[in-house]
Amino acid sequence: MAGQVVWITGLSGAGKTTLAKETVFLLQKHGLNPILLDGDPLRKILNSNVQNASEYDRAERVKIALKYAHICQLLSSQGFTVVIATISMFKEVYLWNQKNISKYFEVYLKVPLKELRCRDPKNLYKRFYNGDLVNVAGLDLVIDEPTESNMILDFELQPTAWENPTNLASCLVQELKKNDLI
């Protein structure tokens, strides 16, 4: 029995990891034993050859994102439910996922730059605007905004829904149920 992949994407600070953790918690309550993958620790494990941000250009990011996709495909093909939180906003990755992962559900966290700069948990935006950092997705590094996500959570359209991550995760789990993924 094939598992499924819930691919949560958005720019840095959008809330991907928070939503992924809440979603995993709710899926466990439904009797599943999901695997949580997060872009930051995955990148440290799989991309140790990149020493600094200036080396982490679009080509390198696409390469690592496709590695994430292959891991997700492998695990889901063995029956696991995989929830991944990753920027990986590149059309090559979306297309590969749609073609190669049988039960693929993409969630796009659409958050305006103004809000992301306020959140900035890793100080990426601050460092970029201070001239201390390059290759920041959505700023000087061109990304491909998802156009065919299964679910778009738009901060500007639903700002109060974002106040409680459990509410967002509940909405996501409901969509997974509607699509017969859980």
* The pairing of beta strand 4-10 with beta strand 35-38: unpaired
Q: What is the 3 state secondary structure string of 126-182?
A: HHHHCCCCCCCECCCECCCCCCCCCEEEECCCCHHHHHCHHHHHHHHHHHHHHCCCC
Cβ atoms within 10 Å of 181's Cβ, excluding its own: 17
Active-site position among 88, 102, 149, 170? 88
Buried b (16+ CB within 10 A) or exposed e, 123-134: ebbeebeeeebb
Element (H, E) at 85: strand 81-85
CA–CA separation, 1 and 21 (whole Å): 24
Answer whether 176's CB lies under 8 Å from 106's CB: no
Question: Is residue 88 annotated as a catalytic residue, yes or no?
Answer: yes
Tell me how far apart the alpha carbons of residues 25 and 141 are, in angstroms, rounded to a whole number: 33
- The residues annotated with a catalytic role in the active site are 88
